[in-house]
Amino acid sequence: MVAPSIIALGGAAPEPGSLALERYILSHARSPRPRVSFLPTASGDAEGYVESFQTAFSSLECEDVDHIALFRRTIRDLRSHLLSRDVIYVGGGNCWNMLLLWRAHGLDEILREAWLDGVLLCGLSAGSICWFEQGTTDSFGLPLQPLTNGLGFLPGSHCPHYHAEQTRRSTYLDWVKDGTLQAGYALDDGAAVRFEGTSPVEFVSSDPDAGIYRVVPTGEGVSEVRVDAVGLPG
């Protein structure tokens, strides 16, 4: 049995020529030539996003790369299809809308089953927030809002784009400090955390400036500690 695994990425969509994080993801799939499905729900199944994802991953050692559309659904048996995959990658966009649509299509339960069955789950931005109980979201536009209806496969909260967007860091620190959000992990674009079960087991980055931070409330306020990360080869 393969341990249930999730890789949460802070941000930065895969692009040909800069695929260190994508190679890292594939190296932890249960097959040496993984079957990969992309879930672009948060972007409204944007065609350009799907094309760029498939171009990037098709350049790697994958047996097959496809995407799952929900706005114009073509796959009737989502459960059988997703349980047959080795990697499910969730794209960025509107996390709140994505979660509502997933639940309407029963994807929340399918993804949990896939995770427990050894399918590697991963994603960036909305696609990393979704696995946690809570997170920071711009699903309603700015200012940021707390998201508290995540899938909850991973405990606590998550903040992507930590230093890439002006208000992410200060807002997240304030919310953890005052109890709006639980303790969690903040990730810069280019950084990732790999979880086995619900425990973090590895911290990596494709950019030496990309940080990973453990943020927890304290009696005096909030603690923000940068975690040592392994640099990935380009």
Catalytic residues: 125, 161
Is the separation of the CB atoms in 43 and 93 below 8 Å? yes
Give Rg (Cα) of the chain.
17
C-alpha dihedral (171, 97, 151, 87), degrees to nearest 10: -110
Sign of CA pseudo-dihedral 71, 75, 78, 81 = negative
H-helix or E-strand spanning residue 127? helix 126-129
Written as six digits, the tokens of 194 are 């790999």
Neighbours of 180 (CB within 10 A): 15
Nearest CA to 181 among 141, 228, 132?
132
Written as six digits, the tokens of 164 are 């890439």
Nearest CA to 87 among 137, 39, 40?
39
